[in-house]
Structure 1
């Protein structure tokens, strides 16, 4: 009986800890970075050409323009991604667009609200792309989970940046 009480006590502490995570940590933030051996004008152009996105994010099944603004800011896109055999539809909105310097994208993907801030700078013909990401959720349970998956999110975005680097350097 004493062993059952100890086990239940441990489980209770873990459950309370899990739910406290969602109350304490409202947003999960991380960064990723890549160096591309091409000038910033070329890198920025290839990065923002929607026809290229499937070449560096292989999970994308379709990319549809919903609203394409001339200055890019405010443009909205519908993206279908395949994740472990399941199709997820998300909306991408361009929050900021400064040619050859910055692109900020907001994604709404079923309980995951993600902001990606891409910064571009060039030095000696090498372009640095720095990604600053922020994830949060409308769902309390998902908000509790995100901090535990920070490393996974960061690895995935780093892999996408590495794929982009390979793609643009082959051009």
Structure 2
């Protein structure tokens, strides 16, 4: 009986810790970065060419403009991605900020999360550096509790996409 009480006490404590995570961590934030051996104008242009995105983000099945603005800021797109289970998920992508050769901020909205990627471009010694500051907010309280535990996985996925972009642009 004593073992059962100890086991139930441990389970209760872990449950409390898990559900309190959402109270303390409202969002999950992380940074990724890559340096590309190309001029900034070429890097920025190719990075923002939606017809080429599948070359470095293989999960993207399609991307179509819903409302494309000439200055880019405020443009919205419907993006369909395939998850690890092979299911297709529709996302809404909105361009929050667009400063040529300097910055692009994208917001992705799905039923499970709201993610903001703030890409900053800089040029030094013939190389372009792309730094991505990401913030994820769960679409539900349970997901808000879960995201901090998967921060490393989210960060590694975004870093993989930047690595793929580097390989793609430097190959061309």
User: Shorter-chain TM-score: which interval?
Assistant: over 0.9
User: Which blocks of at least 5 consecutive residues in structure 1 are unaligned?
Assistant: none
Aligned residues: 171
Distance 1:117 1:78 in 2: 19
Aligned residue in 1 for 2:75? 75
Q: Secondary structure at the match of 2:50?
A: coil
4+ aligned runs moved over 6 Å, structure 1: none
Shift of 1:51: 0.5
Counterpart position of 2:36: 36
Aligned-residue offset at 1:125: 1.2
Alignment partners' CA distance in 2, 1:91 and 1:116: 13
RMSD: 0.5
TM-score by length of 2: 0.98
TM-superposed deviation, 1:137: 1.9
How far apart in 2 are the matches of 1:148 and 1:97? 31
Q: Deviations over 1:112-146 (max 9, x none)?
A: 10000000000121000000000002300000000
Distance 2:31 2:6 in 1: 40
Aligned with 1:152: secondary structure? helix
Matched with 1:54 is 54
* TM-score, with structure 1 as normaliser: 0.99
CA-to-aligned-CA distance 1:45-80 (integer Å, 9 cap, x gap)? 000000010000000111111010010000000000
CA distance in 2, matches of 1:23, 1:88: 28
